A and B are shown apart, each in its own frame.
Chain A
Amino acid sequence: MNVRLYVWQRLTAAVMVPLVLVHVALIFYATRKGLTAADILGRTRGSLAWASFYGAFVITVAVHAGIGVRSVLAEWSPLNERNAGILASAFAVLLLVLGLRAVAAVVLA
């Protein structure tokens, strides 16, 4: 892993610590009396705050997971560094697109 990727992985990890804590707290809150679509969408629909929170979460997780997957592919698969990078970048883009689509779905629903 080069220095640039190392710094991005650590930076996104640090940013995600509070995001994960809030997300886990929300999971506990949301499951207190069973999870329903009405409850979820009631919280997120039209909410700029949740859109910003989960939008930031998706962007940081896509970068973080992309770099992590690249390391795993480069070290544990027969792929060379270049091909591992290409595959991991494609995976990061997939996460970004699906994640932002999910945020849009629950905020604009």
Chain B
Amino acid sequence: MTARGLSHRSSVLWIAALVHRLSGLALAMFLPVHFLTLGLAIQGEAPLESFLRWSDQPLVKLAESGLVFLLIVHMLGGLRVLVIENLAWRDGQKELATLAAGLSAVIAFVLLARMF
């Protein structure tokens, strides 16, 4: 593919679409693990508590806040798509996409700070 053919990849909205897809894919991969973890409660409180204590590790907390970032950025990105498709609102889409990513990062960072 020529450099001219790849030029769209530097567009904020192309990156936003890629982030939306990759965040959705990552969340889909995470969900079975999330459900299996909560399913530990079938065997009683102790197995779930044991997993939660394992999840106190800093790297796990970092991953959890990363997942919250992915969840919010995916939701806000999806909301932007719904707005474009259903309302007569076309202006400022690059700014909205950037704002969505920034807001998601701030919320995830606040959560991370609260967990430590």
Contacts and interface: CB of A to CB of B under 8 A. Distances in A.
A106 B27 contact: no
The interface size bin for chain A is 35 or more
A35 B52 contact: yes
B82 A14 contact: yes
B25 A37 contact: no
A94 to B, nearest CB: 6
A23 B75 CA distance: 12
Given A13-B78, A24-B68, A24-B71, A95 B31 contact: yes
Interface of B: 21, 24-25, 27-28, 31-32, 34-42, 44-46, 48-49, 52, 55-56, 68, 71-72, 75, 78-79, 81-82, 85, 107, 111, 114-115
27 contacts: A10-B82, A10-B85, A13-B81, A14-B82, A16-B75, A17-B79, A21-B75, A28-B114, A31-B111, A34-B56, A35-B52, A35-B55, A36-B49, A37-B48, A40-B48, A58-B35, A61-B31, A65-B24, A68-B24, A69-B28, A72-B21, A91-B28, A98-B31, A98-B36, A99-B35, A102-B38, A105-B42
